[in-house]
């Protein structure tokens, strides 16, 4: 079972770049790394997914080193509305692969201050 | 149009009662899930269905029984409700993607309170 470790909470300020790192030492060859965002009283929302190196979309970047034992979600120029819980998941994500890629854990509570 | 919808949004009931939560997705996805998020915000998978077949059942008491009448629906029935069942229940769905991990789309959640 690929487990992930994230900081429980982080603080930052508006306009800053925020990096949240996730450790996944037991990542398997077929596993992808996926990040979700959850606002209070809402369901999680997909942010970004990657397998290796770097992935970028309109919301965030995901940096994955060569050994893939960790990954870093980078949020550029955060705003107050980025205050949320961020979850890192590792797995092949297919139900046939079991619950590995469906374990959200407790996530990282990011608090953005003015 | 809401992609993944759940009803009801709030559910307050007494211990020992039986209740159901309904979930529907209009995304044409093959896979649907139920998650439980407790008061400590830990989000845990309960069930996963693929094309109406149960794929994952993660150490959930037998009092919880998912039912999938068709690909677009996955309902959760809970018998003999207990205080510890109080939580937010999320439904989600995803498509099967070759060479990738499935992006899940979540419903708004159902807050269940057992008194």
Closest CA to B41 of A102, A12, A42, A33: A42
B48-103 pLDDT, tens digit each: 888 777 877 777 899 999 999 998 999 999 999 999 999 999 999 988 766 666 78
Reading chain A (114 residues) residue by residue, the pLDDT tens digits are 558 999 999 999 999 999 999 999 999 888 889 999 999 989 999 999 999 999 999 999 999 999 999 999 999 999 999 999 999 988 875 544 455 567 787 899 999 999
Closest CA to A108 of A65, A76, A75, A68: A75
Contacts of A84 (CB under 8 A, 6+ apart): A37, A38, A39, A109, A110
Q: Which of A95, A108, A109 to mutate to test the interface with B (most CBs of B within 10 A)?
A: A95
- List the single residue in A31, A43, A103 with the smallest CB-CB distance to B106: A43
Look at residue B43 and tell me whether its pLDDT is greater than 50. yes
A51-65 pLDDT, tens digit each: 999 999 999 999 999
Measured CA to CA, the distance from residue B106 to residue A90 in angstroms comes to 18
Cβ of residue A29 closer than 8 Å to a chain B Cβ: no
Cβ of residue A107 closer than 8 Å to a chain B Cβ: yes
- List the single residue in A45, A101, A106 with the smallest CB-CB distance to B101: A101
Q: Do B56 and A44 touch (CB under 8 A)?
A: no
Cβ(B18)–Cβ(B79) under 8 Å?
A: yes
Q: Do B109 and A49 touch (CB under 8 A)?
A: no
């Amino acid at each position: 079972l690929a487990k992930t470790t994230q900081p429980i909470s982080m603080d930052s300020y508006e306009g800053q770049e925020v990096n949240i790192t996730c450790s996944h030492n037991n990542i398997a060859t077929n596993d992808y790394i996926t990040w979700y965002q959850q606002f209070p009283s809402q369901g999680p929302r997909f942010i970004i997914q990657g397998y290796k190196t770097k992935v970028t979309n309109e919301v965030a970047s995901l940096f994955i080193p060569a050994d893939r034992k960790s990954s870093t979600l980078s949020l550029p120029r955060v705003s107050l509305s980025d205050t949320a819980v961020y979850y890192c998941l590792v797995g092949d994500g297919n139900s046939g692969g079991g619950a590995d890629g469906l374990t959200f854990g407790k996530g990282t509570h990011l608090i953005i201050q003015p | 149009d809401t992609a993944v919808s759940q009803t009801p949004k709030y559910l307050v009931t007494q211990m020992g009662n039986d209740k159901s939560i309904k979930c529907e997705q209009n995304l044409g996805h093959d896979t649907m899930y139920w998650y439980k998020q407790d008061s400590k915000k830990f989000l845990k998978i309960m069930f996963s269905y693929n094309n109406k077949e149960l794929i994952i059942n993660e150490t959930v008491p037998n009092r919880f029984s998912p039912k999938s009448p068709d690909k677009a629906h996955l309902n959760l029935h809970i018998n003999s409700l207990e205080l510890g069942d109080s939580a937010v229940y999320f439904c989600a769905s995803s498509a099967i993607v070759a060479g990738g991990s499935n992006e899940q789309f979540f419903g708004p959640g159902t807050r269940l309170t057992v008194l």
